[in-house]
Amino acid sequence: MDEAKKTMLSGIQPSGDLHLGNYLGAIKNWADRAENYDCYYFMADLHTITVRQNPADLRRRTLEQLAQYIACGLDPERNTLFIQSHVHEHAELGWVLNCYTMFGELSRMTQFKDKSAAHKDNINGGLFTYPSLMAADILLYQPDYVPVGEDQKQHVELCRNIVQRFNGIYGDVFKMPEPFIPKTGARIMCLTEPETKMSKSIPEGCVFLMEKPEDIQRKFKRAITDSDTENCVHFDPVNKPGVSNLMNIYSAVTGKSIESIEAEFAGLGYGAFKPKVGEAVVECLRPIREEAGRILADKAYLEAVYKSGAERASYVAQKTLRKVYKKVGFVAR
């Protein structure tokens, strides 16, 4: 590990296929960082079982996700890519941090409230203490930055509270991490219900990275806009949430500013705008889809990547865990 470099870390749950929100809110900002940062990115499989999973699907999606990380530009030689459950220190530090996280703090987490409302028959302890495990994921690697979408900011803030509490008792054990949230793409909304964030739970409003171009185009053509006929392509998230979301997506995939997008489509209607956004997304995702397909076919390569990733991650994670165990008073092995 290069001591002078700062560290970045993030993860995604392989609970569904990766979608445009995951890409624009998170992964896109992970690529191209390896030059300047030590980067750790993982498949957060321990987190997924807070909601029931089909075991065969979970295994398949975890490997697909790894192939897609690589296809999105994360070179495994320069980024540590690993599967969370392969590094047992995550579960161990997660337990310790549970004891430094307050019931009240966990009760305030939006994701817990949303998921317990969605899965009333399975409001388990793991769902509740999920943020302590996420804090452990982060703190094991002492990162400077945690690149995530807007919806994960609350969890990173809670992690910061834990750092303050723990360091307050034991001295400087953990580095204080900062959430790193992109300017465009931090909150991609559902195409059919633009008041809710894009997620796999509404598949018609969600664009998946591996989806066929014609299906992506169809989803954009059917995206909800509004009945405005005067000033169609105008950015106003409160009064025009659907259109503003499409503009955000277009901006994030093309790099164009919101003002230049308004100028580009001035006087044009949604019939011209929506297919243009669809086309830009298709072209942005095409190389990723093709590359991921190639990588996924090479199972031996994927195995080599996740094995060496787990080894590199374990080395760092062990060091932090040893320090923590010593601080809290466990007898050394």
Residue 198 touches ligand TYM, criterion: CB under 6 A? yes
| Annotated catalytic residue, options 175, 200, 256, 327 | 200
- H or E element in which residue 299 lies: helix 299-328
Closest separation in Å from C-beta 36 to ligand TYM = 19
240 binds ligand TYM (CB under 6 A): no
Q: How far is the CB of 247 from ligand TYM (least distance, A)?
A: 15
Phi and psi (nearest 5°) for 10? -160, 170
In the bound state with ligand TYM, the residue whose beta carbon lies nearer, of 151 and 291, is 151
Q: How many CB atoms lie within 10 A of CB 19?
A: 21
**Radius of gyration of the CA atoms of the chain, in A:** 21
What are the angstrom distances between the C-alpha of 141 and each of 9, 274, 284, 318? 8, 42, 31, 10
Give me the residue whose beta carbon is nearest to ligand TYM.
25
Q: Is 200 a catalytic residue?
A: yes
Per the residue annotation, which of 115, 175, 221, 327 is the catalytic one?
115
Q: How many CB atoms lie within 10 A of CB 78?
A: 13
Q: Is 47 in the site for ligand TYM (CB under 6 A)?
A: yes
Q: In the complex with ligand TYM, which residue's Cβ is closer, 155 or 312? A: 155
Q: Is 2 exposed, middle or buried (0-12, 13-18, 19+ CB in 10 A)?
A: exposed
Give catalytic status of residue 113 as yes or no. Answer: no
Of the pair 147, 232, the CB lying nearest ligand TYM is at 147
The residue from 28, 33, 160, 187 that contacts ligand TYM (CB under 6 A) is: 187
Closest to ligand TYM by CB, 186 vs 295, is: 186
Residue 79 or 232 having the CB closest to ligand TYM: 79
CB of 203 to ligand TYM, least distance (A): 14
Q: Which two tokens mark 175?
A: 């580095």
- State the Cα–Cα distance between residues 247 and 250, nearest whole angstrom: 5
Q: How far is the CB of 87 from ligand TYM (least distance, A)?
A: 12
Q: What is the per-residue binding string for ligand TYM in 128-167, x denoting contact by CB under 6 A?
A: ------x--xx-------x-xx-xx--x------------
Nearest alpha carbon to residue 188 among 158, 219, 155: 219
Determine, following the binding rule CB under 6 A, whether residue 29 of this chain makes contact with ligand TYM.
no
Assess contact for 217 and 278: CB atoms under 8 A.
yes
Beta 145-147 vs 178-180: how paired, if at all? parallel
The beta-strand segments (E) located in 84-155 are 145-147
> Which is nearer to ligand TYM, 87 or 134 (by Cβ)?
134
Catalytic annotation on 115? yes
Beta carbons of 255 and 266 less than 8 angstroms apart: no
Here the tokens at position 268 are 């044009």
Note whether 188 binds ligand TYM by CB under 6 A.
yes
Q: Tell me whether residue 194 or residue 278 sits nearer to ligand TYM (CB atom).
A: 194
Tokens in use for 63? 């490997």
Which of these ranges, 17-25, 219-227, 248-256, 313-321, lies near ligand TYM under the rule CB under 6 A? 17-25
Long-range contacts of 219-222 (CB under 8 A, 24+ apart): 219/191, 219/278, 220/191, 220/246, 220/274, 220/275, 220/277, 220/278, 220/281, 221/274, 221/275, 221/278, 222/191, 222/192
User: At closest approach, how far in Å is the CB of 19 from ligand TYM?
Assistant: 7
Would you tell me which residues interact with ligand TYM (CB under 6 A)?
A: 10-13, 21-22, 25-26, 44, 47, 134, 137-138, 146, 148-149, 151-152, 155, 186-188, 197-199
Active site residues: 115, 197, 200
